[in-house]
Amino acid sequence: MFNEYFTMSEEQAIQYAKEKLTIFDENEALACKEIGDGNLNYIFKVFSTESDRSIIIKQSGPVARISDEFKLSPDRNRIEYEILKYQDELAPGLVPKVYQYDPIMNCTVMDDLSDHVIMRTEMINRKQFPKFSQDITDFMVKTLLLTTDVCLEHKHKKDLVKNFINPELCEISEDLVYTEPFSDNNNRNDVFPPNTAWVEEHLYGDDALKLETAKLKFEFMNNAQSLVHGDLHTGSIFVKEDSTKIIDPEFAFYGPMGYDVGNVIANLIFTWANADAYGDAVHKAWVEKTIVEVVDLFREKFLTTWAEKATEYTANYKGFNEAYLESVLKDTSAVTGLESIRRTVGLAHVKDITMIEDAEKRARAERMVMMAGKRFIMERGAFLTGADFLNVIKGVESQF
């Protein structure tokens, strides 16, 4: 039955688990629920009705669920499987365990994280996670720095670049992050009507900004620095009070490591804007503290890990570690800005912003996020500490 690809139903996912997996007993009664992940894939939770055993089957189709305009290689499932295995070696306990990859059905079998919750949802609901800053910076430093030429034998690193080339999903990022949000020459942008004139003036009409985004796009396409997750936002993070799990690395490829760090910071800014719109000073202050911690802990752990793990001879030249880190933080600032803008006016929005019911407050939240984004892009290189990043956010708050 599973010798040729087709998109599975819930009943077929149960049959797949019985025929292809050894996780459940032979005659164990199973049930299934398709839980979905939004834009790209089909996610099935298969579970026993007789025990606490359960697994996730994640299946990739040839087109994205968000739009059949996006033709995708099913190889992204292979990439995700191999990346999760590798990330678990680099940062144990911070990603779900994977058990099997099926190249015919384009699916991966992995841990069920039903005891965790999606971080974006919980943050919108004003939940706070004291371990998050430590966990996410552990994950980023270990999976990013340890996969660079600083720490890897160079030929091995080049083999990884080749193995994880991901052109179809990179093209999505090149279009949706670096190109479309800054131009009205496409019909996929989705601008909140009260901000249409503002966007036309401050994004579409800003030639200096567009020049910088062109430079950044070509850096993204040509800087095979590190094995990046590629989509590291709060919707790709499962959390509970004592645990953080990073999921969905199907956009992973060798690119600039600041792409991951900037995505994390931008998505914290969305939560900050949501708390501001609803007047929740307590949660807003916690998010501000978390933004500062993420930047500063990343800096601290980066330099410590460099001192412990750098194997490249020239990487130990005096001052090179700081110079390299500054370039990473420059990229981090740029991506913080790009992600802030594209999630506001582009095709893929975030609930932190779209759920703001008051139109005037939503318009203000969007303008704050986009104006901060412009500063992060245009002044990248000026923000080297958590306080520097926070000062930009507080600065735009006073403008609107």
Question: What is the model's pLDDT at position 1?
Answer: 86
Q: Among 53, 86, 111, identify where a domain stops.
A: 111
Q: Which amino acid is at 213?
A: T
Residues 18 and 69 in one domain: yes
Burial category of 73 from C-beta neighbours within 10 Å (exposed 0-12, middle 13-18, buried 19 and up): middle
Assigned domain for 5 exists: no
Q: Are 253 and 260 in contact (CB under 8 A)?
A: no
Instruction: Give exposure, 124-148, as e/b (b: 16+ Cβ within 10 Å).
Output: beeeebeebbebbbbbbbbbbbbbb
Quote the CA–CA distance of 324 and 327 in Å, as a whole number.
5
Based on the domain organization, do 216 and 314 belong to the same domain?
A: yes
Q: Is residue 161 located within the same domain as residue 104?
A: no
Gyration radius of the chain over CA positions: 21
- Answer yes or no: are the C-beta atoms of 272 and 289 closer than 8 Å: no
Dihedral over Cα of 252, 141, 222, 390: its sign: positive
Looking at 84, 111, 138, which one is the last position of a domain?
Answer: 111
Same domain for 105 and 196? no
How many structural domains comprise the chain? 2
Residues 103 and 173 both lie in one domain: no
184 domain-assigned: yes
Predicted local confidence at residue 67, as pLDDT: 56
Same domain membership, residue 348 and residue 242? yes
Residues 6+ apart with CB under 8 A from 70: 63, 64, 168, 172
pTM of the complete model? 0.91
N-terminal to C-terminal alpha carbon distance within the chain:
59
Are 140 and 103 within one domain? no
Q: Are residues 94 and 155 in the same domain?
A: no
Is 24 inside a domain boundary? yes
Task: Note the pLDDT of residue 388.
Answer: 98
Q: Sheet harboring 30-34: ordered strands across?
A: 30-34, 41-48, 54-60, 107-111, 98-102
Residues 182 and 230 in one domain: yes
What integer pLDDT is reported at residue 39 of this predicted model? Answer: 61
**Do 151 and 85 have their domain in common?**
no
Q: Which two tokens stand for residue 57?
A: 């089957």
Q: Note whether 97 and 125 are same-domain residues.
A: no
Whether residue 4 lies inside any domain: the answer is no
Last residue of a domain, which of 111, 130, 156?
Answer: 111
Which residue range forms the structural domain that includes residue 66? 10-111
Collapsed DSSP state (helix, strand, coil) of residue 41 = strand
Structural domain includes residue 143: yes
Check which CATH number belongs to the domain holding 157 and give it: 3.90.1200.10
pLDDT tens over the chain, length 400 residues:
899 999 899 999 999 999 999 999 988 999 999 986 556 788 999 999 999 999 999 998 776 555 566 666 667 788 889 999 999 999 999 999 999 999 999 999 999 998 999 999 999 999 999 999 999 999 999 999 999 999 999 999 999 999 999 998 999 999 999 999 999 887 799 999 999 999 999 999 999 999 999 999 999 999 999 999 999 999 999 999 889 999 999 899 999 999 999 999 999 999 999 999 999 999 999 999 999 999 999 999 999 999 999 999 999 999 999 999 999 999 999 999 999 999 999 999 999 999 999 999 999 999 999 999 999 999 999 999 999 999 999 999 999 9
- Considering the domain architecture, whether residues 144 and 275 belong to the same structural domain is answered as yes
Task: Output the pLDDT for position 309.
Answer: 98
- Phi and psi torsions of 159, nearest 5°: -65, -40
Specify the DSSP element, H or E, that contains 102. strand 98-102
CATH code, domain with 42: 3.30.200.20
Question: So what's the pLDDT on residue 36?
Answer: 67
Amino acid, res. 264 = V
